[in-house]
Amino acid sequence: MKQTQITLTEFERIYQRSIDKKDFNDIENFILKNSDENAPFLRIGSGVGGKFIQARNYVGVLQTKSGLTIEILPKIADNNDAKRSRSKAVLIKMLKSLKNFPFKSSNLASLKTQNLPLLEIFISMFLCELETLVKKGIKSDYVTLEENLNFLKGKLNINEQIKRNSIHKERFYVEYSEFLKDIKINQIIKTTLKFLYKQSNVSKNQQKIRELLFIFDEVSTCEDYKNFFTNYTISRQVKHYEQALLWCKIFLLGDSFTPHKGDDLAFALLFDMNALFESYVGNFIKKKLPGTVLQHSEKHLIENPKGFKLRPDIFLEGKFIADTKWKIIRQDIKESEKKYKISQADLYQLYAYGKKYECDKLYLIYPKIDGVEQESMKFRYEDEMWLEILYFGLENDYDNDELIKIY
């Protein structure tokens, strides 16, 4: 029986022999078209077990045109199988920290998502948002229509009348306005619903989509949705559409932190764990410590001429500077080798921040990984300038309360 769902954590592999040949080829083509160093979603390799596709530090979901769904979850434990279900909950929680994405407003408490595939969770979140929108009211507006009628209605279009009705004097080519639901923002929503009906395999989601399609029955679909998302702005009158349209953009364009090329897959929504971790940790500390600035950018490495702008992830003036790194730091090695597990480039980066900002308290924050021995480390650069290595727990926020005492 053909597989329809595969769940991986970061850096796990799918071997060619384990999935349909066409699915493997489609994913391989997707990788080759997106093999730029700036977007290393997945990698192709080969070993003793044959050719394989390996997840990297991008998480999310992709779906082949023949229906195979692959979800990639963050690695939060040394033993992936032990925490796979909790890893999904961690990912959803981290996504809610993102700016300009609709995850923040989603009420997951009302959704029984533990056993749902990741794509179905996203679909459920969108449908809940759409149900809220419908309760607030579907927007209607005056739409200009053109028709060739047997009676005069609205305004006669002289040019079209001459062109079309020079023989049929009994007809009138007219322009008129009607107050309709068939406007662009509703067309985008209906287009998304029809797209998701093909992607979803969960009966509850499919039923909700059918119910919503019935509500949008008088609305047509939109073929030029790419142009719509390039140019649209949300007015005050349709502010309640904002979150739903963000979801539509995600589903129709696969819009995540990094856009992808090609049409080899039916759907791909992938997030860079480096950016996700930075966003989540930064927002956690910002809530706890008023005055914290994320991505501060007032200093330059070179003053004359000004160049190489410095952007510390987390900055609290007069207190500390911190950078986040989505890397697993293991300390189950010899004491003399511990410091070399920290990237030399990261050490130089924090030193530059300390010198330019005249800040003595510097921190590198890494994820706390279950089952991996991790101890705080402290390094002295010079005089009173110190760098401390901290670990951020992903499952329970209260585990990180000590972090707010770092200043």
pLDDT (tens digit, 9 = 90+) per residue, 190-212?
999 999 998 888 899 999 999 99
- Gap between the Cα atoms of 211 and 39, Å rounded: 38
Do 228 and 335 fall within a single domain?
A: no
Q: Tokens at residue 400, please?
A: 């990180």
Does residue 279 lie in a domain region?
A: no
With a cut of 70, say whether residue 290 has pLDDT above it: yes
Q: Which of 324, 323, 316 is nearest to 407 (CA)?
A: 316
Kindly report, residue by residue over 31-67, the tens digit of the pLDDT: 888 776 555 788 888 988 889 999 988 898 888 888 8
* pLDDT at position 117: 85
Q: Output the pTM of the full model.
A: 0.80
Assess whether 14 and 131 both reside in one domain.
yes
Residues 156 and 195 in one domain: no
120 and 149 share one domain: no
| Structural domain harbouring 151 | 141-180
207 and 69 in a common domain: yes
pLDDT band at 331 (very low <50, low <70, confident <90, very high): low
Condensed to tens digits (0 to 9), the pLDDT of residues 247-272 reads: 898 888 865 555 667 777 877 888 88
SS3 271: strand
| Dihedrals phi, psi of 369, to nearest 5 degrees | -105, 125
pLDDT, tens digit, 9 for 90 and up, residues 338-374: 554 788 889 999 998 888 888 899 999 999 887 777 7
* Domain edge (last residue) among 221, 247, 273: 273
Which residues neighbour 199 within 8 Å (Cβ) at sequence distance 6 or greater?
A: 63, 119, 123, 266, 267
Contacts 24+ apart (CB under 8 A), 251-254: 251/122, 251/126, 251/192, 251/195, 251/196, 252/188, 252/191, 252/192, 252/195, 252/225, 253/225, 253/226, 253/229
Q: Is residue 389 included in any domain, yes or no?
A: yes
- Which has more confidence, 234 or 68? 68
pLDDT of residue 322: 92
* N-term to C-term CA, the chain: 57
Helix (H) or strand (E) holding 85: helix 84-95
Summarised one tens digit per residue, pLDDT across range 382-400 is 888 999 999 998 888 777 8
Encode pLDDT of 105-116 as tens digits: 555 554 555 578
Q: Which of 210, 243, 273 is the last residue before a domain boundary?
A: 273
pLDDT at 1 > cutoff 50: no
Q: Examine the domain organization and report whether 367 and 299 are in the same domain.
A: yes
Question: How many other CB atoms are there within 10 angstroms of residue 88's CB atom?
Answer: 22
**Vertex 153: Cα angle to 149 and 155 (nearest 5):** 110
Share of the chain above pLDDT 90, in %: 18
Residue 381 is encoded by which pair of tokens?
């650069």
Is the domain of 68 the same as that of 83?
yes
Question: CB atoms < 10 A from the CB of 83, how many?
Answer: 23
**CB 298: neighbour CB atoms within 10 A?**
11
Across 155-159, 204-208, 222-226, 388-392, the highest mean pLDDT is recorded for 204-208
Has residue 281 been placed in a domain?
A: no
Q: Do 85 and 152 belong together in one domain? A: no
Tell me, yes or no, whether 28 and 114 share the same domain.
yes
Question: Are 196 and 94 found together in one domain?
Answer: yes
Q: Are 302 and 324 in a shared domain?
A: yes
